[in-house]
Amino acid sequence: MFISSSYPFVILGLMTDKLVLLIEDEQAIREVERAYLEQAGFRVMEADNGKTGLAMALATRFDLIVLDLNLPQLGGLEICRQLRQGGSLVPIVMLTAKTEEVDELIGLEAGADDYIKKPFQPQVLIARVQALVRRWGHKTLHIGPLTIDQATQAVTKNGQALRLTTTQFNILNALASQPNHVFSREQLISQAYNEGMDRDIFDRTIDAHIKSVRKIIEDNAAHPRMIMTVIGRGYTFED
């Protein structure tokens, strides 16, 4: 399935804090992908079918997803669509076998960021993954009076530095990354917490976090103008 490479594999800086989800039904491919990703310093979680993969992608904040197109239970395109519809901006690299006559554009239209055809050199996959994670990790958002640096987690308001905890930052970052998109509490919880955290979190916890973020970023937290409550649905960042 893979073509071995004759040139040495160059690691372009380790990404030890980055978590990748592999959704791939063929065990042999998963093992090769995992080995190369781990060699490049990524932490890796795996799903061998679409349904489990989507559930994991919704429950945990990944830095990137490597998504096979043809999967049992739920296909890669549908997973991609559902993640994007749910407001997830996680970078997605889609993989497909050459025999699958699916136009590259369909994958990109479904919301994939990149697209690789099998068989591929694992080095190519790693290079694309690193490029996407870097791009994703170094975006700076300018929204209203706020500047949000996703790489350093620094937030400023009219040039003044604000202090946010990681959870507060993750919530603000999720909301501000997609202005005017309404996030449910559940979606915000999955954006806010990394794997290994206690998943038994109540809606009120998110409400409390939103309250604390408002206190930090709003002129008047009692009358917010950035993070708005959408009754019965959740929260949105109003552009």
Q: Which residues bind Ca ion (CB under 5 A)?
A: 25, 68, 70
Q: Which residue is nearest to Ca ion (CB)?
A: 70
Q: Rounded CA gap, 227 and 239, in Å?
A: 9
Closest CB to Ca ion among residues 95, 188: 95
**Nearest-approach distance from CB 37 to Ca ion, in angstroms:** 18
* Block residue for tokens 């739920």: 74
**Nearest-approach distance from CB 24 to Ca ion, in angstroms:** 7
**Nearest-approach distance from CB 26 to Ca ion, in angstroms:** 6
Closest CB to Ca ion among residues 100, 219: 100
**Nearest-approach distance from CB 71 to Ca ion, in angstroms:** 6
Parallel/antiparallel/unpaired status of strands 19-23 and 43-47: parallel
Nearest 5 degrees, angle CA 195-CA 201-CA 203?
A: 130
Closest CB to Ca ion among residues 93, 213: 93
Closest CB to Ca ion among residues 24, 174: 24
Count of residues for the chain?
A: 239
**Nearest-approach distance from CB 5 to Ca ion, in angstroms:** 22
Closest CB to Ca ion among residues 25, 207: 25
**Nearest-approach distance from CB 18 to Ca ion, in angstroms:** 24
HEC string of the chain?
CCCCCCCCCCCCCCCCCCEEEEECCCHHHHHHHHHHHHHCCCEEEEECCHHHHHHHHHHCCCCEEEEECCCCCCCHHHHHHHHHHCCCCCCEEEEEECCCCCCHHHHHHCCCCEEEEECCCHHHHHHHHHHHHHHHHCCEEEECCEEEECCCCEEEECCEEECCCHHHHHHHHHHHHCCCCCECHHHHHHHHCCCCCCCCCCHHHHHHHHHHHHHHHCCCCCCCCCEEEECCCEEEECC
**Nearest-approach distance from CB 118 to Ca ion, in angstroms:** 9
Closest CB to Ca ion among residues 28, 208: 28
Closest CB to Ca ion among residues 22, 171: 22
